[in-house]
Amino acid sequence: MMREDENRQTPCDQGGCSRRRMLTLLSVALGGVGTLLAGVPIVGFLLGPVLRQQAEAWVDIGPVHRFAAGETVEVAFQDPRALPWAGTTGKAAAWLRRETDDRFTAFVVNCTHLGCPVRWEPEAKLFMCPCHGGVYYSNGQVAGGPPPKPLFRYQTRVANGQVQLKTRPMPIT
């Protein structure tokens, strides 16, 4: 008694499996795999901002008394849009300055030229980009170098004795 799968005939069993046909099928299969491998990152790049876009959120930075008037300090916070497994890459930073008792200014730490992190030079009262020599005044306006725009700002507020900033996706320059 023959089993059912033994009765099945494949194209190769019927004499239709030539070397040319096998190489054609192999080429088509490898081309499909290559297209899939190249296409997935491209589709992810195109759809990523749409899939990850979330509402803006207010994040606590610290108590008001921690920040001295007129002083610019770097603050770190957890980005609420980060995925749970993001780890340290889910952290973000900002330059925060206390202007008055209840008014703060927060700048994104990235240069508007190519996104390098800028540093604050308190003696010169300037933000400096080490990558291509970009310089910003203390108000975030471009002082010199290649940056096309001023530093991006976060919206800030004081609530329940905490300094908060409103996170949002930063524009890509």
pLDDT in tens, 75-85: 988 777 666 66
Predicted confidence (pLDDT) at residue 118 exceeds the cutoff of 90: yes
CA distance 150 to 82: 25
CA distance 91 to 77: 6
Predicted confidence (pLDDT) at residue 1 exceeds the cutoff of 60: no
Full residue range of the structural domain in which residue 71 is found? 57-167
CA distance 58 to 155: 9
Question: What are the φ/ψ torsions at residue 141 (nearest 5 degrees)?
Answer: -75, 150
**Cα-Cα-Cα-Cα dihedral sign, residues 22, 27, 28, 32:** positive
Q: What is the pLDDT of residue 139?
A: 92
> Looking at the structure, do residues 37 and 65 belong to the same domain, yes or no?
no
Lowest mean pLDDT among 117-121, 152-156, 166-170: 166-170
- Top mean pLDDT of 3-7, 13-17, 161-165 is at 161-165
**pLDDT tens for each residue of 23-54:** 888 999 999 998 888 888 887 777 766 655 55
CA distance 110 to 118: 6
> Looking at the structure, do residues 100 and 158 belong to the same domain, yes or no?
yes
In a domain, 155, yes or no: yes
Helix (H) or strand (E) holding 78: strand 72-78
Per 3-state DSSP, the chain is made up of helix, strand and coil in percentages (nearest 5) of 25, 30, 40
Number of domains the chain is built from: 2
- Report the Cα–Cα distance between both ends of the chain, in Å, rounded: 73
- Top mean pLDDT of 6-20, 33-47, 97-111 is at 97-111
